[in-house]
Amino acid sequence: MIPLTRHTGRRVAVFGLARSGLAAAQALAAGGAQVLAWDDKAERRATLPASQLADPAALDWRSVELLVLSPGVPLTHPEPHPVVRRARAAGVPVVGDIELLLPAVAGARIVGVTGTNGKSTTTALIGHLLKSAGRPCEVGGNIGTPALALEPLGADGAYVLELSSYQIDLTPSLHCDVAVLLNITPDHLDRHGDMTNYTAIKSRIFAGQGEDDCAVIGIDDAPCQSIAARLERKGRSRLRKVTVGRRAADAVSVLDGLLYEPGEEGPALDLRRYRTLPGAHNWQNAAAAYAACRALGLSAAEIDAGMASFPGLAHRMEQVAEVAGIAFVNDSKATNADAAARALACYGDIYWIAGGVPKAGGIERLRPFFPRLRKAFLIGAAAEEFARTLKGAAEYTISGSLERAMEEAYAAARREQHPGAVVLLSPAAASFDQFADYEARGRAFREQARRIAARAGAEAAT
């Protein structure tokens, strides 16, 4: 934990006591602040002592220094949460946990990673590369450990933080020594209003940077190309562009799995060697991580060794079991169509489990991958909508639950016996209709796959 001593003796409100909010409340209390915390869910309020709880509707907001808002609570869209309105009416700044972290770790380097897709893998990969090269490093933020629950580091350390658009929106003084923007495609538009606002918030990862800071940006989509061009017009000397599928003289480029540095004739790395980084989408992640770590002083040889030992990311194209040649792949983190496309592009003969709470556009943009599907097994609230898109293009069944979908997919794969068949959970939808979050959905898939494997093993032994 990182104690927040700047707020000693001051009243700080915290609203939302999931992981990041709870860590913020604990870090503030450890630093001597008077914490006024609340969550609409009673079970979350029970995680703090009663002395630190205060209903925001009954607060005298004129006596409050800050409101620390959980990133899951609406700040602006579809409309501000009532607690945000109360704070703003009293002139109380509304911030998130990353805003509290930055002054508390002054001296250490901040590596921020954002993007619609790939940011968790890229964040984890950068952290792994730094650690494997012997550099002091902590990894957290939107991935896994809340930022304020990380360990204190000295001036030679680096905090590698996955930053969601919600977190960036709550961090007005964001400054990253190395800032990474991977890509921008439509997502979270219910929380940001439209693509213009969403893109503007993502681009703010670069706003607080100076000439000595490094900006890494993918240039394979139009919004990011526009942002890169704007940074170039400002004369940013430490701009590192990344592209996949072509060679560009001014970018870290990946062509046919080979990574090239700008101006170099031969490849620096062969990304095809790394088992846990398959496919073009992972090559973008790897190239961005490469550019970021080179900016942090790692050699190509150190990065190569680290990538070879990278274990991969839970819930992102994670093979959790194999039964009779049928692989079970947990891609629960694919909560939108663009993320699911990355998995669908990597496999053939797919028994696809999809569905949940649908995002704008559904799965229409996945139509080019439908020929790869042996059959789709649809779950959750999106099942009927996804079925309409698949009708006439791919075989499907509405399974309803994840457990039933897995049993039906496995039975179909065993019956049809296509070499290299994959039962793939890549939902292209959020999880909240049936699970607490994508991690709970992924754990359920993993556990059920292992049960199926154990059952198949027992049957083979009799």
What radius of gyration, in Å, describes the C-alpha atoms of the chain? Answer: 23
Q: Which residue do the tokens 């150190």 mark?
A: 302
For residue 326, give the DSSP letter. Answer: E
3-state DSSP assignment of residue 65: coil
Report cis status (omega within 30 of 0) of the bond before 146: no
3-state DSSP assignment of residue 259: strand
Cα 158 to Cα 107: distance, rounded to the nearest angstrom: 9
Every domain of the chain and the residues it spans: 5-95, 98-308, 318-461
Total Cβ atoms within 10 A of residue 393: 12
Total Cβ atoms within 10 A of residue 56: 20
Q: Exposed, middle or buried: residue 62 (CB in 10 Å: 0-12, 13-18, 19+)?
A: exposed
Cα 85 to Cα 94: distance, rounded to the nearest angstrom: 10
3-state DSSP assignment of residue 403: helix
3-state DSSP assignment of residue 38: strand
Per-residue pLDDT at 101? 97
H/E element, 337:
helix 337-344
- pTM (two decimals): 0.82
Order the strands of the 94-95 sheet from edge to edge: 34-38, 11-15, 66-69, 94-95
CA dihedral 42, 44, 45, 48 (to 10 degrees): 150
Sign of CA dihedral 300, 306, 311, 313: negative
Cα 48 to Cα 50: distance, rounded to the nearest angstrom: 6
Phi and psi torsions of 107, nearest 5°: 110, -45
Q: Exposed, middle or buried: residue 458 (CB in 10 Å: 0-12, 13-18, 19+)?
A: exposed
Q: What is the 3-state secondary structure (H, E, C) of 126-150?
A: HHHHHHHCCCCEEEEECCCCCHHHC
Q: Which residue do the tokens 């439908």 mark?
A: 370
> Domain 318-461 carries which CATH code?
3.90.190.20
Cα 403 to Cα 431: distance, rounded to the nearest angstrom: 14
H/E element, 232:
helix 222-233
3-state DSSP assignment of residue 109: strand
Phi and psi torsions of 127, nearest 5°: -60, -40
Per-residue pLDDT at 189? 61
Cα 427 to Cα 423: distance, rounded to the nearest angstrom: 12
Instruction: Retrieve residue 151's tokens.
Output: 């360990």
In sequence order, the 6+-apart residues with CB closer than 8 A to the CB of 94 are 66, 67, 69, 75, 84, 87, 88, 170
In the CATH scheme, what is the homologous superfamily, with its name and number, of domain 98-308?
Mur-like, catalytic domain (3.40.1190.10)
Per-residue pLDDT at 378? 98
Cα 377 to Cα 398: distance, rounded to the nearest angstrom: 6
Phi and psi torsions of 191, nearest 5°: -95, -15
pLDDT in single tens digits along all 462 residues of the chain? 999 999 999 999 999 999 999 999 999 999 999 999 999 999 999 999 999 999 999 999 999 999 999 998 999 888 999 999 999 999 999 999 999 999 999 889 999 999 988 899 999 999 999 999 999 999 999 988 999 999 999 888 999 999 999 999 999 999 999 999 999 987 666 666 688 999 999 999 999 999 999 999 999 999 999 999 999 999 888 999 999 999 999 999 999 999 999 989 999 999 999 988 988 889 999 999 999 999 999 999 999 999 999 988 889 889 899 999 999 999 999 999 988 998 999 898 999 999 999 998 999 999 999 999 999 999 999 999 999 999 999 999 999 999 999 999 999 999 999 999 999 999 999 999 999 999 999 999 999 999 999 999 998 887
In sequence order, the 6+-apart residues with CB closer than 8 A to the CB of 71 are 16, 20, 96, 142, 164, 166, 167, 170
**Please, are residues 321 and 452 in contact by the beta-carbon 8 Å criterion?**
yes
* Chain centroid offset of residue 441 CA: 15
**Please, are residues 110 and 175 in contact by the beta-carbon 8 Å criterion?**
yes
Instruction: Retrieve residue 134's tokens.
Output: 């012997």
> Domain 5-95 carries which CATH code?
3.40.50.720
Cα 419 to Cα 435: distance, rounded to the nearest angstrom: 32
Q: Exposed, middle or buried: residue 183 (CB in 10 Å: 0-12, 13-18, 19+)?
A: buried
Per-residue pLDDT at 193? 67
Residue of 71, 65, 75, 94 whose CA lies nearest to 22:
71
Instruction: Retrieve residue 366's tokens.
Output: 């996945």
Instruction: Retrieve residue 401's tokens.
Output: 């639950």
